[in-house]
Amino acid sequence: MSPDTFNRPNETNPEEEILRTPYPNKKEGEMFGIADQLLGASRIKIMCADGKARMGRIPGKIRKRMWIREGDLVIIKPWDFQDDKADILYRYTKTQASYLSRKKVLPKSLDVF
């Protein structure tokens, strides 16, 4: 094999779009939110896309992997039985958040990037 075969990108279908940032699944009730205030004990106050402020909880399986700061864009899923609480499913990096802002995916109320 020649050395340039390692540097050549993979041949893919040009119509196929590569999705690098996950989007909230609207069918499951997921939505965008911004971390507003850190409360301790894996709890965060979140301003959601629907205009409500919810208490966000970081579930145990992602607690150690995901460090969330104030002003971070997150995906949340509100609880079925308590609408003022939600689980945090994903945190976007600053680069991903600015990408979503440029693509006009974010709601107007959350577009601070």
Mean pLDDT for the chain?
Answer: 83
Question: Is 4 within the bounds of a domain?
Answer: no
Q: How many domains does the chain have?
A: 1
Number of helices (H), then strands (E), belonging to the chain: the values are 2, 5
pLDDT, one tens digit for every residue, the chain (113 residues): 555 545 555 555 444 445 578 899 999 999 999 999 999 888 999 999 999 999 999 988 877 787 889 999 999 999 999 989 999 999 999 999 999 999 888 888 887 77
For the chain, the 3-state helix, strand and coil shares in percent, each to the nearest 5, are 20, 30, 50
pTM (2 d.p.): 0.76
Question: Is 12 within the bounds of a domain?
Answer: no
Question: Is 29 within the bounds of a domain?
Answer: yes
Question: Is 8 within the bounds of a domain?
Answer: no
Question: Is 13 within the bounds of a domain?
Answer: no
Q: Can you give the residue range of the structural domain that contains 65?
A: 23-101
CB contact set of 86 (below 8 Å; sequence gap of 6+): 33, 46, 48, 54, 55, 56, 57, 76, 77, 78, 79
Question: Is 14 within the bounds of a domain?
Answer: no
Q: Assign residue 64 the CATH number of its domain.
A: 2.40.50.140
Q: How is residue 104 annotated by DSSP?
A: T
- pLDDT value of position 15: 47
- pLDDT value of position 43: 93
Could you tell me if 99 and 105 are in contact, meaning their C-beta atoms sit under 8 angstroms apart?
no
